[in-house]
Amino acid sequence: MRRTDRLFELIQILRDGRLHTARDMAARLEVSTRTLWRDMATLIASGLPVEGERGVGYILREPVTLPPLTLTPDEVQALTLGLQLVTRGADPSLTRAADSLLGKITAVLPARLLDGIGQDTWVFPGAEALAAARHLPALRRAIRLRERVVIAYADSAGVPSERPIRPLLLEFWGRVWTLASWCETRGNFRSFRVDRIDSLHPTGESFPEVPGTTLADWRRLHGS
């Protein structure tokens, strides 16, 4: 049995909340007691709420409802702060999804890992991101479906234009969302600030993977 599979099985054994001796668990997994001790040390170090010691046994003190996922305090902080960032991003559908996911995570985390979750730790996002928010769901959908769209756009000087584009990638720069795309008007790649898009019209037309116009080509050109 691979070690990762062994660790998963150990979590399954411990989930009943009873005291299990190293000898009994080692016999069930067909490994040595010494190997079992090392595996238990790994689980405890990863944040699993297990108490016990050699010669006595091991017991899971708090329920684990998402095995084999066990998170360290730093991992929990990184995950929840990331979700908070999404909820402040003003994209309505992603905000709802992030709120829902954060609720599910906090519902199953041990109490000792909940400290600090939900506190405001970000100053976010600003007028530009809020102005971009109304277009983000439609742009994400167009990128996913590889759908050609037409945008009414104003450049930095306020000059308006209408552009048929092939949306490729959304990027967030702390305050500003930009859209990497193939601009059919210019016949070249172009990045548009999403907050400067006045209106957006999906065409229902899929665009082909033409060499020289794809996201992979854009990444190679921009070194990303």
3-state secondary structure of 10: helix
**Is pLDDT of 69 > 50?**
yes
Could you tell me if residue 173 is inside a domain? yes
144 assigned to some structural domain: yes
Does the pTM exceed 0.75? no
- 149 CB-near residues (< 8 Å, 6+ apart): 138, 139, 142, 164, 165, 167, 200, 201, 202, 203
Mean pLDDT (the chain) is 82
Q: Which of 149, 208, 158 is nearest to 183 (CA)?
A: 149
pLDDT at 165: 96
Residue 205 burial by CB count (10 A; 0-12/13-18/19+): exposed, middle or buried? Answer: exposed
The verdict on residue 90 lying in a domain is yes
Co-location of 50 and 91 in the same domain? no
Residue bearing the bigger pLDDT, 72 or 183: 183
pLDDT tens-digit profile of 91-145?
677 777 877 777 777 666 666 666 655 554 444 567 777 788 888 889 988 998 9
8 Å CB contact between 46 and 64 = no
Q: Look at strands 197-206 and 57-60 and give their pairing.
A: unpaired
User: Are both 103 and 28 inside the same structural domain?
Assistant: no
The reply to whether 138 and 209 lie within a common domain is yes
For the chain, percent of residues with pLDDT exceeding 90: 36
Tally of domains in the chain: 3
Range 46-58 average pLDDT = 83
Q: Inform me whether the pLDDT recorded for 89 exceeds 50.
A: yes
Per-residue pLDDT, 62: 76
What is the pLDDT confidence band of residue 90, given thresholds at 50, 70 and 90? low
Higher-pLDDT residue of 34, 127? 34
Q: Is pLDDT larger for residue 221 or for residue 175?
A: 221
State yes or no: pLDDT of 81 exceeds 80. no
* pLDDT single digits (tens) 140-193: 889 989 999 999 999 888 999 999 999 999 888 877 889 999 999 999 999 999
Q: What percent of the chain has pLDDT over 70?
A: 80
Q: Which position has the higher pLDDT, 49 or 117?
A: 49
Q: Is residue 118 part of a domain?
A: no
Do 142 and 208 lie in one domain? The reply is yes
Range of the domain at 107: 73-113
Q: What is the mean pLDDT of residues 12-24?
A: 88
Do residue 19 and residue 86 come from a single domain?
no
Q: 102 and 20 in one domain?
A: no
